[in-house]
């Protein structure tokens, strides 16, 4: 029988024996299986995963619904109306003028003589297209007065087909753009009207609403109380300090926050 013998002669025998019977100092050498760069990469990945886990369980993801609407003071501008039919003789005020409740704003020629039309509230006269010589009916609006001293609020239009996606107490953020600055406001939905309204009933409810200000419909109305107003470059302001400077019927875009969830709950809900 021929015994197995590593090739290479006696020198090979010696090396082969060294491998089989390695001295202790060889066995004690550190075995490197990865480089320091790999360990750094693994540590970074572990840190990212830990941060994601914390966010998933402790963070919040808010879902919201987008709406459009109008800003009004109080319940909205109020119309000054004659008590008798007649012909408008003259207007005693101009657009933008401040008036007080009971102040004369127009004169009507009736079958019984001249009659004054007075402002129903304190406020600012809104633009009007009516002119002297116009035939008016008893109770028809002559001019509208914006009660700017009352709190600024938002009337949000919810398309009837959308149901009621918001509830009283939901926070809301409004955005509007003026010619010179970007304005936003924050508030809370205070009430909902479950009965639908169309353009005709909306115009009847809000005196002096310019034609074409809102289109579409029917809608349900949600009202929001505002707490602060922000102006680009000027910061946030209490709504009471700036509300009077913003006229009614400014159009707004609104984001109403429906609910906040943990990210992990959102992910689980998708499966």
DSSP line for 228-266: EEEETTTEEEEHHHHGGGS-TT-EEEEEEEEEEE-HHHH
- Residue 160 pLDDT more than 80? yes
In this prediction, residue 217 carries a pLDDT of 84
Q: Up-side HSE of residue 135: CA atoms within 13 Å toward CB?
A: 1
Distance in angstroms (rounded) separating the CA atoms of residues 114 and 78: 23
CA distances from 271 to 169, 266, 267, 268 (A): 30, 9, 7, 6
**Within its chain, how far is the Cα of 93 from the centroid?**
36
DSSP for residue 122:
S
Mean of all residue pLDDT scores within the chain? 79
pLDDT average, residue stretch 244-258: 84
Start and end residues for every CATH 2.40.30.170 domain found in the chain:
63-74+148-263
Distance in angstroms (rounded) separating the CA atoms of residues 170 and 156: 13
Distance in angstroms (rounded) separating the CA atoms of residues 200 and 192: 19
Closest by Cα among 217, 227, 158 to 192? 158
In this prediction, residue 81 carries a pLDDT of 95
Distance in angstroms (rounded) separating the CA atoms of residues 48 and 42: 10
Closest by Cα among 130, 79, 87 to 108? 87
- Residue 270 pLDDT more than 50? no
Contacting residues for 155 by C-beta, under 8 A, at least 6 apart? 69, 70, 71, 72, 76, 206, 221, 222, 223
Start and end residues for every CATH 2.40.50.100 domain found in the chain:
78-146
- In terms of C-beta density within 10 A (0-12 exposed, 13-18 middle, 19 or more buried), how is residue 126 classed? buried
- Residue 266 pLDDT more than 70? no
Closest by Cα among 157, 174, 153 to 166? 157
In this prediction, residue 260 carries a pLDDT of 54
| Radius of gyration in angstroms for the set of CA atoms belonging to the chain, rounded to a whole number | 38
Tell me the pTM: 0.69
Higher pLDDT, residue 199 or 14 = 199
Higher pLDDT, residue 219 or 228 = 219
In this prediction, residue 83 carries a pLDDT of 92
Q: According to CATH, what is the number of the domain 63-74+148-263?
A: 2.40.30.170
Contacting residues for 91 by C-beta, under 8 A, at least 6 apart? 105, 106, 128, 130, 132, 142, 143
* CB-CB contact of 38 with 45 (8 Å): no
Fold of 78-146: OB fold (Dihydrolipoamide Acetyltransferase, E2P) (2.40.50)
pLDDT average, residue stretch 200-221: 88
Higher pLDDT, residue 75 or 54 = 75
Q: Up-side HSE of residue 261: CA atoms within 13 Å toward CB?
A: 12
* CB-CB contact of 228 with 236 (8 Å): yes
Residue 225: pLDDT band with limits 50, 70, 90: very high
Closest by Cα among 11, 85, 66, 83 to 254? 66
Range name among 59-68, 151-160, 213-222 with the lowest pLDDT average:
59-68
- Residue 105 pLDDT more than 90? yes
Residue 72: pLDDT band with limits 50, 70, 90: very high
Residue 29: pLDDT band with limits 50, 70, 90: low
Residue 1: pLDDT band with limits 50, 70, 90: very low
């Amino acid at each position: 029988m021929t015994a197995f013998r590593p090739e290479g002669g006696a020198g090979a025998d010696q090396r082969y024996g060294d491998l089989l019977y390695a001295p202790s100092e060889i066995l004690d050498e550190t075995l490197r299986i990865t480089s320091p760069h790999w360990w750094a990469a693994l540590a970074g990945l572990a840190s990212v995963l830990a941060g994601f886990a914390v966010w998933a369980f402790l963070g919040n993801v808010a879902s919201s619904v987008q709406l459009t609407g109008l800003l009004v003071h109080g319940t909205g501008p109020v119309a000054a109306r004659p008590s008798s039919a007649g012909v408008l003789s003259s207007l005693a005020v101009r657009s933008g003028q401040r008036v007080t409740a009971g102040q004369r704003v127009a004169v009507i020629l009736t079958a019984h003589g001249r009659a004054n039309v007075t402002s129903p509230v304190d406020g600012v006269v809104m633009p009007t297209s009516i002119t002297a010589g116009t035939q008016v009916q008893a109770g028809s609006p002559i001019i509208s007065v914006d009660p700017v001293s009352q709190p600024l609020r938002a009337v949000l239009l919810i398309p009837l087909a959308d149901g009621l996606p918001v509830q009283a107490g939901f926070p809301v953020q409004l955005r509007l753009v003026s010619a010179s600055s970007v304005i936003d406001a924050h508030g809370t939905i205070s009430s909902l009207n479950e009965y639908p309204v169309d353009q005709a009933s909306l115009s009847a409810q809000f005196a002096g609403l310019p034609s074409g200000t809102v289109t579409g419909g029917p809608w349900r109305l949600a009202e929001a109380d505002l707490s602060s107003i922000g102006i680009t470059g000027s910061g946030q302001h209490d709504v009471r300090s700036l509300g009077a400077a913003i006229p009614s019927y400014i159009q707004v875009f609104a984001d109403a926050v429906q609910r906040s969830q943990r990210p992990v709950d959102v992910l689980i809900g998708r499966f």
